[in-house]
């Protein structure tokens, strides 16, 4: 149930929905390994096929109190996902390290269909229903050289990747038409570690990676989980590319170590969600979009220390400068009144911390307590407020160590709520997102 009350506490609307979902999964894998005479010299090939069918139906009831009426609607989604994966990996030890090369080929076909059954006083937009098909073709080759000496460890790799994604949209769709993206790009990865002494090491890292939008982010069909914020995908999305550099130093001692690092990350075509005005005064539209550029520059500390013979502490802290560049996007829905949003450049100093305490309180009994804090941060459209959580768990080994009883609780105080403050062109939106993080588990496991 989602109630809507006005500033005086009077009920304006009660939105109710029920979901009936059936999932079917099938997968098969064939793996072959050829081992050469030299230890560690091998060729491994694998073919995997997976099928997943998703059949879900949503039943909605819209109770309005001024004026008084009840609306009923039904939406359904039927989607069949087929994935074909072929991988070949070759590894050969060398005099001072090893060489790894390989390839990955993927074909992913994902047809889906959504249908609307409008009821009384329907809020559904029939022009957004229909069929679509996601087609992904991925081809990648990689090579990695690992060099190991007494005072130096070096890993240098390169992955050359070609991707082609087509999203075929129902020609009767009222907003979007068929589109897609493709690229062929190199993705290098370099790691160098200098062993200064037995207890000290200095490391440097560099890598480039890609985050491709998933099918769900491209999907042209809306979700009506909230009647006043219509969420839609965007088949015009482009991949997000990120480059990272890091310099770290680790100092070890008897019973623990300290790792400190400075890093810088640069992203382009940032994947995000943007909310703009909808076709009516009481409707907003949330659409997946690409913002422009962003940067993170920060420092990280990781401490691991055995405090006593029975208590160990793990702690890490991270503070960084987050910068998101200015950008302008257009939300295509509604197509007769497309909304433009311009985001100004933003910068904030943010951070997070995590403390984990492990204690052997009794014989074969371990207690673990974890605390997490995340400082306020920015997103392309607004900011995320601070949040924290406390987790705890207790385990007891029995049956000569083969059996284990456990109880654990996550987010005990139910405080890990993601609170957004969204700034639109003509509105401000404050939302609290609950992700059912408060969970208690009790169980028993046995190791054969």
**Which of 380, 372, 389, 390 minimizes the C-alpha distance to 420?**
380
Residue 216 belongs to some domain of the structure: yes
Domain hosting residue 291, numbered range: 20-344
Cα separation, 367 vs 389, whole angstroms: 17
Q: What is the pLDDT of residue 125?
A: 86
158 pLDDT higher than 80: yes
Residue 88 belongs to some domain of the structure: yes
336 pLDDT higher than 70: no
Q: Which residue has the higher pLDDT, 145 or 71?
A: 145
Cα separation, 67 vs 36, whole angstroms: 78
Length of the chain: 448
Strand partners for 343: 327
Residue 444: in which H helix or E strand, if any?
Answer: strand 439-446
Which residues, 6+ apart, have CB-to-CB distance to 55 below 8 Å? 21, 22, 23, 24, 76, 77, 78
Residue 233 belongs to some domain of the structure: yes
DSSP E strands in 291-438: the ranges are: 293-306, 311-324, 327-331, 339-343, 346-362, 365-374, 377-379, 382-384, 387-398, 403-410, 418-423, 428-433
Q: Which residue has the higher pLDDT, 150 or 384?
A: 384
Per residue in 342-353, pLDDT tens? 999 999 999 999
DSSP E strands in 236-292: the ranges are: 240-253, 256-268, 271-277, 284-290
Which residues, 6+ apart, have CB-to-CB distance to 95 below 8 Å? none
Cα separation, 414 vs 439, whole angstroms: 9
The four Cα atoms 208, 212, 217, 219 give a dihedral, to 10 degrees, of: 170
Per residue in 209-254, pLDDT tens? 999 999 999 999 888 888 888 899 999 999 999 999 999 999 999 9
Q: The domain spanning residue 297 has which CATH number?
A: 2.40.170.20
Q: What is the pLDDT of residue 431?
A: 87
282 pLDDT higher than 80: no
Burial class (CB in 10 A: 0-12, 13-18, 19+), 434: exposed
Please count the structural domains in the chain: 1
- Three-state secondary-structure class, residue 119: coil
Residue 215: in which H helix or E strand, if any?
Answer: helix 215-218
Residue 244 belongs to some domain of the structure: yes
Q: What is the pLDDT of residue 264?
A: 98
Residue 388 belongs to some domain of the structure: no
Q: What is the pLDDT of residue 337?
A: 63
Residue 118 belongs to some domain of the structure: yes
Per residue in 72-106, pLDDT tens? 999 999 999 999 999 999 999 998 899 999 999 99
114 pLDDT higher than 70: yes
Residue 425 belongs to some domain of the structure: no
> Do 206 and 248 meet the contact criterion of CB atoms below 8 Å apart?
no
Q: What region does 121 belong to: left with phi over 0, alpha with psi -120 to 50, or beta?
A: left
Residue 317 belongs to some domain of the structure: yes
Q: What is the pLDDT of residue 335?
A: 64
Confidence bin at 410 (pLDDT 50/70/90): very high
Per residue in 12-59, pLDDT tens? 889 898 999 999 999 999 999 999 999 999 999 999 999 999 999 999
Alpha carbon 324 to its chain centroid, in Å, reads 19
Q: Could you give phi then psi for residue 215, rounded to 5 degrees?
A: -55, -40
Q: What is the pLDDT of residue 46?
A: 98
Query: In the predicted model, what is the mean pLDDT of residues 186-193?
Result: 98
Number of Cβ within 10 Å of residue 152's Cβ equals 12
Cα separation, 58 vs 76, whole angstroms: 6
Q: What is the 3-state secondary structure (H, E, C) of 308-340?
A: CCCEEEEEEEEEEEEEECCEEEEECCCCCCCEE
If you ran DSSP here, which 8-state letter would residue 173 be given? Answer: -
If you ran DSSP here, which 8-state letter would residue 128 be given? Answer: G
Cα separation, 101 vs 123, whole angstroms: 54
Confidence bin at 361 (pLDDT 50/70/90): confident
Which residues, 6+ apart, have CB-to-CB distance to 304 below 8 Å? 256, 257, 258, 312, 313, 314
Confidence bin at 281 (pLDDT 50/70/90): low
- Computed over every residue of the chain, the mean pLDDT equals 93
CA distances from 446 to 85, 164, 443 (A): 34, 46, 10
Q: What region does 281 belong to: left with phi over 0, alpha with psi -120 to 50, or beta?
A: alpha
Strand partners for 439: 410
Cα separation, 343 vs 270, whole angstroms: 13
263 pLDDT higher than 80: yes
Sign of torsion over alpha carbons 380, 381, 385, 390: negative
Query: In the predicted model, what is the mean pLDDT of residues 356-367?
Result: 92
């Amino acid at each position: 149930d989602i109630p809507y009350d006005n500033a005086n506490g009077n009920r304006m609307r009660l939105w109710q929905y029920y979901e009936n979902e059936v999932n079917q999964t099938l997968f098969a894998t064939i793996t072959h390994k050829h081992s050469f005479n030299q230890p560690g010299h091998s060729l491994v090939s694998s073919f995997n096929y997976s099928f997943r069918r998703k059949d879900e139906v949503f039943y909605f009831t819209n109770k309005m109190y001024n004026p008084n009426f009840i609306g009923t609607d039904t939406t359904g989604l039927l989607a069949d996902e087929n994935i074909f994966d072929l991988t070949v990996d070759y590894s050969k030890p060398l005099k001072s390290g090893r060489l790894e090369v390989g390839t990955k080929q993927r074909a992913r076909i994902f047809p889906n269909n959504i249908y609307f059954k409008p009821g009384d006083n329907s809020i559904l937009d029939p022009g957004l229903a229909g069929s679509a098909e996601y087609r992904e073709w991925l081809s990648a080759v990689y090579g990695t050289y690992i060099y190991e000496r007494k005072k130096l460890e070096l890993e240098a790799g390169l992955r050359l990747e070609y991707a082609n994604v087509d999203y075929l949209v129902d020609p009767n769709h009222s907003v979007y038409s068929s589109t897609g993206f493709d690229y062929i790009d190199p993705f290098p990865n370099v790691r160098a570690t200098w062993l200064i002494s037995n207890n000290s090491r200095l490391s440097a890292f560099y890598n480039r990676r890609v985050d491709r939008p998933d099918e769900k982010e491209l999907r042209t069909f809306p979700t009506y989980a909230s009647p006043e914020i219509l969420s839609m995908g965007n088949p015009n999305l482009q991949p997000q590319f990120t480059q990272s550099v890091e310099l770290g130093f680790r100092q070890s001692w008897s019973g623990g170590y300290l790792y400190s690092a400075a890093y810088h990350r640069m992203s382009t075509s940032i994947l995000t969600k943007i909310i703009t005005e909808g076709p009516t005064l009481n409707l907003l539209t949330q659409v997946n979009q690409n913002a422009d550029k962003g940067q993170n520059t920060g420092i990280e500390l990781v401490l691991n220390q055995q405090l006593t013979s029975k208590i160990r502490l793990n702690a890490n802290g991270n503070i960084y400068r987050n910068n998101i560049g200015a950008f302008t996007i257009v939300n295509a829905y509604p197509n007769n009144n497309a909304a433009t949003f311009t985001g100004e450049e933003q910068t904030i100093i943010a951070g997070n911390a995590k403390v984990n305490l492990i204690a052997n309180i009794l014989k074969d009994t371990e207690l673990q307590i974890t605390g997490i804090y995340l400082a306020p941060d920015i997103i392309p459209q607004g900011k995320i407020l601070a949040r924290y959580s406390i987790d705890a768990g207790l385990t007891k080994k029995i049956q000569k160590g083969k059996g284990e009883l456990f109880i654990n609780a996550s987010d005990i105080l139910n405080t890990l709520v993601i609170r957004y403050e969204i700034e639109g062109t003509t509105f401000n939106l404050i939302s609290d997102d609950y992700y059912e993080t408060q969970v208690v588990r009790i169980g028993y496991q046995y190791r054969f």
